[in-house]
Structure 1
Amino acid sequence: MASYLRMLYVKNNQSPTPGSPLQETSPIATVKTLENQSQVQNHSAKDIQAENRDDVLRHSSSDKRQKINFLPASSGKQREDLDSKKVLKIDSLLRKSTLEHKIATFGDIVYQTCLDTFGAKQHQTKCPPQRSRRQLEMDTLRKQKRKLKKQIRAASSEETNGLLVIWRQLKTRHSALSRAESARKKRSQKRKNQERFIRDPFQFARQFIQQSKSRTLTVDREELETHLKKTYSDLTREIPLEETTGLVWPAAPGIKFDSKPPSLQEVIAVVNKARAKFAPGPNGVPYLLYKRCTNVLKKLHKILRSAWKNIKISKEWMPAEGLYIPKEQDSKGINQFRPISLLNEEGEKFFSIMASRLNT
């Protein structure tokens, strides 16, 4: 296993010599490693154009991609049409591409196809609920009671008794409507709680156990960058460590590492294990798409197998999008948040399979 990881590191960290084509041109147009290393294929100018025609799909790492407005799980026919459409587009754009180009642009093609088909998810502003006749009548009675209170204060002793009788009648009516409205709200809340419990019992129970957490990080950019530099940098990293006595040398592994390319069943197991709510990585492709589109998942499996055989780690799998999650209630400072990193789903599947094999 150690030799396999060393091969991954050496092969993906070779620096180009000065004046070489790899240094002078763009990464997409100059990759020369083919999907099958044993075959040599000459690419014409037409092939190079085919490789670069989807460069419009590329986004810089600073762009925040919009969330896709996916179809609900009940729309089976439309989902199958989308699955076939994405596979055809992937085949047309990546048919003559190199392995590096396929790995780098696969997620972008899938994202752009879904975005063109469904569009981006729009932020919906909640409209205030329409008030019922009972609620409108309660508002009217409340105004009349306030008005009568003012009249009682300014009225003479002869008029006060009559106004009090009217006020008590309004109060009785308002109290009856208030009790009916309170009972209706309790029934509605009970029905909603039952639906939430049936939909996700663990999430429903978690709200009674976990402490509520705020989600506002009030720090400026300079403070955040200083915190990141202090946390993830080491000024003494170049200084060799002293030998530590008493360390026990671990025993040699008893089982040989399975270095065969990942099977389709392993990829499906990784996808099924992940929650559909997982936030997507920088390329904007969520796990939900691979859960619903099996043909696209099979295409991804072929690319992952080729990457494993040819020992290729894509640079698209390295960047991560950082998010800060609050640790406690009223979290405001940077120390009250914990960072998480969101990687592209394609790379996560690749390394999840490798990690699962190390654990078995």
Structure 2
Amino acid sequence: MKHNRRQQEIQTLRTEINDVTKQYKRANEEEKEGLNELRSILRERRNNLQRAERIRKARRERGKKRAMFVANPYKFTKATLDGTKAGLVKSTTEKLEKHLSETHSDERQWEHLGNCDRIENVPEPEIPMNTKEPSLKEVSDVVKKARSASSPGPNGIPFKVYKKCPNFETPVEATESSCEEREDIIMLAESRGVFYSKRRNVGGHHTISDNFPPKCRRKIFFSIMARRMTSYMTDNNYVDTSVQKGGIPGFSRCIEHTSIISKLIQEAKVNKKDLTVVWLDLANAYGTVPHMLIQQSLDH
């Protein structure tokens, strides 16, 4: 690898500093003052060049990582944050069930909240919700965009099988039924829980967390339903896409917001201004919101 002009000059300055240092050791008292001043000038020049070189390398590295993130945000984030999870979860079934009950239950879930003046009226939808049986194209689109590495459900069939075997992509096989009754939806929503310890623990304490990956076939069904619901919301202008980016087709999820924040931070650095960035995250969001409020919002 060839050195650039700045790196070559840094090497030259190092050699000159060493030569001046040797001369300083052999010089008399009258010469030492001038040699010491010359060495200080050379060192300052070298330090400035080294600082500029570090900035150049950091800028190049940031650009490389930014390009990797834009090309594949999931892969870049996984490579950055993924690692061996620390610790083991040691708990009985009774404790786990109690944890789930306390975390996700709402003792007042059937209590009527009354009227809320802050809920704005919305016009009647111009485009109705698609309630037809899932089509083969909808199933194929979901399977095509799904990750092959996704964990399969209790049936043991991963997405890779659906990708490689087109005969599995029939609407009835992939969605198990058209599911027009609520009882059928509840049956499809059945899932298994996977408990694990969080990767970063303070003082060795292990926090129980949960994740519910449904079967791949159920993932296909609910992915289709989610797409239809999103289309229904956007087609009727029920979602303000200038604010809400996640889960909306045509937007790069959080990339736009991240780019704006990165630009603001860069401008604050260049202009030497103060900037405060606050990240908000709701702990146990579903467990802290009244379930009746969610029901009323869906009905509304």
TM-score when normalising by structure 1: 0.38
TM-score, normalising length: structure 2:
0.44
